A = this chain, B = another copy of it.
């Protein structure tokens, strides 16, 4: 039983709550701690003198078409329908439009009934994991990885099996993955473009990974689900292609969000796509829908759903992120940092200048640089720089990065 006694009142009436949940609510993440420190520090030395690279919150506005379409709907559509319940899996017309868009861009052969609209990618992940993983099972994450995966996986009762990527390229290490899969493996989460490294997994990596997954499915006689977490799909540079995983592996669930591509992180709109080629497609889709129901999602926000057909294929101005990326890459390399060139997302993963990334981040704080140590991503010795900030912040921060590097020479 996950319950413990937390406190005793004068009258000896005990509070019985879920202690695991309390801890999750009480413990701030490393990233949130840094963010709060940054707010305090800015109050002391001025907004412009603290270089906060902690949060992955887009700084670029939504494309104009988003607000224009929302205003148009508010002005012209029947409010009872606009703000009304959609079916639990999402509005049928919205799902059809998204399916068409996926087919046009990815040639994926999907249809409206493959899509289950969700309250963002986090909900897509919790519904998918609740459907396919549980007590006594394992879910593989490829380290470094987004720390909330651990929270989502463990809530289902399953355990996390971390497999480190190649730390030169941050491509998946296929041999290590093969060695990690066992009869308890329910699923593997793949996040490309990656948070925190910015790596885009190459087609060769994906093919090799899927070959291993198929082999292991046969070996253990059970499905191993590939959960593709893709909120950064559109944020890629230099024309790099992000393979669409349903085209490589039948037992794929794609978790998508419009948070980053359209700069709508607070609005919570995304979906799960169940590959139409999946074994027992209907049962898996139903289990995801059942999870959505049991977790209390009801439906994805209706007006935001109805926005999507009007803005499919549009993105925020990602050239700003590319400018930031190139500036940081060039300058940090010239100061002596070891940086893996990211092909996507808006994160730079930089080798710490001493073995302990936490100590390095503390040292960076002395130069008012707020960097996230990589330990919570399951890959010690690095720092994450979220460069989804104004370019001016980077320009102002460069002397601090230089001074930090020099302090280690």
Contact = CB atoms under 8 A, between A and B. Distances in A.
A294 B79 contact: no
A302 B267 contact: yes
A263 B223 contact: no
A285 B25 contact: yes
- Of A11, A25, A79, A288, chain B has the most CB atoms within 10 Å of the CB of A25
Contacts of A134: 1-3, 18
Pairs of residues from A and B, 3 with the lowest C-beta to C-beta distance, nearest first? A266-B302, A25-B290, A24-B290
Given A222-B13, A290-B20, A296-B295, A7 B83 contact: no
Given A268-B299, A296-B122, A302-B267, A21 B83 contact: no
Q: How many copies does the complex hold?
A: 2
Given A25-B287, A120-B298, 19 more contacts: A2-B135, A3-B137, A6-B283, A7-B279, A13-B279, A15-B223, A21-B130, A21-B287, A24-B289, A25-B288, A26-B290, A57-B84, A70-B70, A70-B74, A71-B75, A86-B266, A119-B298, A125-B296, A295-B296
Interface stretch (A58-66, A200-208, A364-372, A399-407): A58-66
Contact of A7 (B19, B60, B280, B293): B280
Interface residues of A, number: 100
B279 A15 contact: yes
Contacts of A300: 268
A67 B74 contact: yes
5 contacts: A13-B279, A24-B290, A25-B285, A25-B292, A74-B74
